[in-house]
Chains A and B, each alone.
Chain A
Amino acid sequence: MALETIDAAAKRGVLALQDYALLSARAVGDLFRRPFYRDDIFMQADIIGVGSLPIVILTGFFLGGVLALQSAATLAQFGAAAFTGQLVSFSMIKEIGPVVTALMVSGRNASGMASELGSMIVTEQIDAMRALGTDPLKKLVMPRIVATVVMLFFLVIISDAVGICGGGFVSIFMLGQDGSQYFHLSYQSLEYPDILQGLVKPIFFGFIIATIGCFYGMKTRGGTQGVGRSTTQAVVWSSILIIVCDFMVSRFMIGIFGR
């Protein structure tokens, strides 16, 4: 009995992985097939990118601030409080900026995608779309993937910049550090691999957020309860995958660049 349960669960897992891979591959392939839904991409970019801006700015600013607050105290024990700016910029650009921004966007948009597409599934709107001659993957999934990947890239840059400013605000006005030194060290200590690492991650994270959100939305079954379940699963799995992917990309980049 237990073996049968494990067997069924394993089959479900493999099947879900196969469906996810197929959905992602087909949606990416749709980028190169006509019709190309440019207007839908812009609309999604507005919803995902511009709509997420306030939460990204707020979280970025306060994360930078709290990083400065915590690290300055520790660095001061070694007489290195002046390096607060360097630590904040390193942490924000390489790790915290991409990961936290992706998690915030995931919480807002992966859930939004899953619930929107899930509602469309249970009310037969997706079937209606297919019956009207439109491929839902092309019309609904592809624009969300493109918009999320592109907009998350820019959101992370904004988050990094705002985070460093937040750290600067705390360092200057609360810890009494020299502003010029803070920003000088923040900038000077950064090297090309650090920036590259921070900019490569959001591309992967954006892809994960959109594909997971759309995947759970498109496989919704069981009415409104099913929509709720899909929404929760989309946020949980996209968050987990973002963190797993962060580890893998970091390891890969450190392996290549040595930092």
Chain B
Amino acid sequence: MSRDAGVNGGGNGATPPAAAGASSEPVVVFENVSIGFERKPVLENISFRVHAGEMRILLGPAGVGKSVLLKLVNGLLRPDSGRIFVFGKEITAMKEEDLFEIRGSIGTVFQEGALFDSLNVRDNVGYRLMEEHIPDDEITARVTEALRFVELEHTLDKFPSELSGGMRRRVAIARAIVTNPRLILYDSPTGGLDPITSTTIIELVMKQRDVSHTSSLVVTHRIQDAFVLAMHRFNRTTNQMEALPPHVTDPNTSFMMLHQGQLVFDGTTKELVHSNDAFIREYIS
């Protein structure tokens, strides 16, 4: 069942074993990563890989450590043990200053959007561009383009408090993609939203996957969102998502599942659906 079983051995250097220099170098590699808070283990011996252009959906009940895992990927948290490679570089012991460069290629959509409430939408989306001292005209153009992707180009001058929950989440997606990152981390992008707005957000996540082919890690506890992502594709012509033929799933989308701090599943959609594990069957039923 475990897709990457056996990938964790060997390798003492600063590049992931068996992947360094290869064209299909994994974007993210976790090797026996563990972390705990206040002596309570949260994640234990987590190992997995995310390859270029792949979407990995991380499932699990609330409070199991899914968001913690995402924060480990972009170095917002450091593991207690194990190694993490992002774009081929080991970030586990990297200095915060060096991590900023890596994070420049990672877009993150936080659970509640985490927009800066004192900045308007234009400045929120263009925050990273402003930090890089890119000319104002170019920032406005790129921000408008990113907002057009999420169909919110008319909200440039609005403040986060003037937007609905769904709109805030879409602005957060625009902020994550404005720099054309190589990896996007979605932390429960549909959490707390109504079903219709959730579908809009999932459609945007799918659009980014199928149009830009960006690698992504999607954390969710909503199994229906996960299956929509696995069983639909984005049609550029009609500009909306459409169902894949029966028994066909998106080849670039696969699943992982956390339970009690352990990675209990790492595999394809079909493997997930046909799993005999009692917890997985109960979770997806």
Contacts from A to B (Cβ < 8 Å):
35, 123-125, 127-135
Answer yes or no: B76 CB below 8 A from chain A CBs. Answer: yes
- Say which residue of B100, B106, B114, B115 sits within 8 Å of A127 (CB atoms): B114
CA distance A133 to B132 in the complex (A): 10
Answer yes or no: B279 CB below 8 A from chain A CBs. Answer: no
Interface pairs (13), CB distance under 8 Å: A124-B114, A127-B71, A127-B76, A131-B74, A131-B103, A131-B110, A132-B131, A132-B175, A133-B103, A133-B128, A133-B131, A134-B100, A134-B131
Of residues 52 through 99 on chain B, the ones whose CB sits less than 8 Å from some CB of chain A are 71, 74, 76, 96-97
- Say which residue of B110, B127, B131 sits within 8 Å of A124 (CB atoms): B110
List A contacts of B116 (CB < 8 A).
Answer: 125, 128-129
Answer yes or no: B104 CB below 8 A from chain A CBs. Answer: yes
Interface of B is mostly: mixed
Is the CB–CB distance between B112 and A131 below 8 Å? no
Is the CB–CB distance between B131 and A35 below 8 Å? yes
CA distance A131 to B101 in the complex (A): 10
CA distance A129 to B111 in the complex (A): 14
- Say which residue of B101, B103, B111, B117 sits within 8 Å of A130 (CB atoms): B103
Q: How many A-B residue pairs have CB under 8 A?
A: 47
Is the CB–CB distance between B108 and A128 below 8 Å? yes
Chain A residue, CB-CB nearest to B172:
A128
Smallest Cβ distance from A107 to chain B, in angstroms? 22
Chain B residue, CB-CB nearest to A26:
B96
CA distance A132 to B175 in the complex (A): 9
What 10 pairs across the A-B complex have the smallest Cβ distances? A128-B114, A124-B114, A131-B108, A133-B100, A124-B110, A132-B128, A133-B103, A133-B104, A125-B114, A127-B76
List B contacts of A129 (CB < 8 A).
Answer: 116
Apart from the given pairs A129-B116, A133-B103, 5 other A-B contacts in the complex at a CB distance below 8 Å? A35-B131, A123-B112, A124-B114, A127-B71, A127-B114
Chain A residue, CB-CB nearest to B103:
A133
Is the CB–CB distance between B114 and A123 below 8 Å? yes
Is the CB–CB distance between A132 and B127 below 8 Å? yes
- Say which residue of A124, A125, A131 sits within 8 Å of B111 (CB atoms): A124
Contact A130:B76 (CB < 8 A) given known A135-B96, A135-B100: yes
CA distance A233 to B71 in the complex (A): 29
CA distance A132 to B131 in the complex (A): 9
CA distance A131 to B116 in the complex (A): 13
CA distance A130 to B110 in the complex (A): 12
Chain B residue, CB-CB nearest to A126:
B114
Is the CB–CB distance between B76 and A125 below 8 Å? no
CA distance A123 to B113 in the complex (A): 9
Among A123, A124, A132, A135, residue most surrounded by chain B Cβ atoms (within 10 Å) = A132
CA distance A135 to B76 in the complex (A): 11
CA distance A237 to B41 in the complex (A): 33
Smallest Cβ distance from A37 to chain B, in angstroms? 10
CA distance A130 to B96 in the complex (A): 9
List B contacts of A124 (CB < 8 A).
Answer: 110-112, 114
Among B101, B104, B111, B131, residue most surrounded by chain A Cβ atoms (within 10 Å) = B131
CA distance A135 to B96 in the complex (A): 8
Among A123, A128, A130, residue most surrounded by chain B Cβ atoms (within 10 Å) = A128
CA distance A128 to B97 in the complex (A): 16
Smallest Cβ distance from B28 to chain A, in angstroms? 15
Is the CB–CB distance between B108 and A125 below 8 Å? no
Among B110, B114, B127, B131, residue most surrounded by chain A Cβ atoms (within 10 Å) = B114
Smallest Cβ distance from B164 to chain A, in angstroms? 17
CA distance A26 to B129 in the complex (A): 25
Is the CB–CB distance between B131 and A131 below 8 Å? no
List A contacts of B127 (CB < 8 A).
Answer: 132, 134
List B contacts of A132 (CB < 8 A).
Answer: 103, 127-128, 131, 175
Smallest Cβ distance from B132 to chain A, in angstroms? 9
List B contacts of A131 (CB < 8 A).
Answer: 74, 76, 103, 106, 108, 110
Of residues 177 through 200 on chain B, the ones whose CB sits less than 8 Å from some CB of chain A are none
Of residues 115 through 152 on chain B, the ones whose CB sits less than 8 Å from some CB of chain A are 115-117, 127-128, 131
Among A128, A129, A131, A133, residue most surrounded by chain B Cβ atoms (within 10 Å) = A131
CA distance A164 to B74 in the complex (A): 56
Smallest Cβ distance from B260 to chain A, in angstroms? 24
Q: Scan B249-271; emit 1 where CB is below 8 A from any A CB, else 0.
A: 00000000000000000000000
CA distance A127 to B76 in the complex (A): 7
Smallest Cβ distance from B278 to chain A, in angstroms? 34
List B contacts of A35 (CB < 8 A).
Answer: 131
Smallest Cβ distance from A218 to chain B, in angstroms? 14
Is the CB–CB distance between B117 and A123 below 8 Å? yes
CA distance A135 to B75 in the complex (A): 13
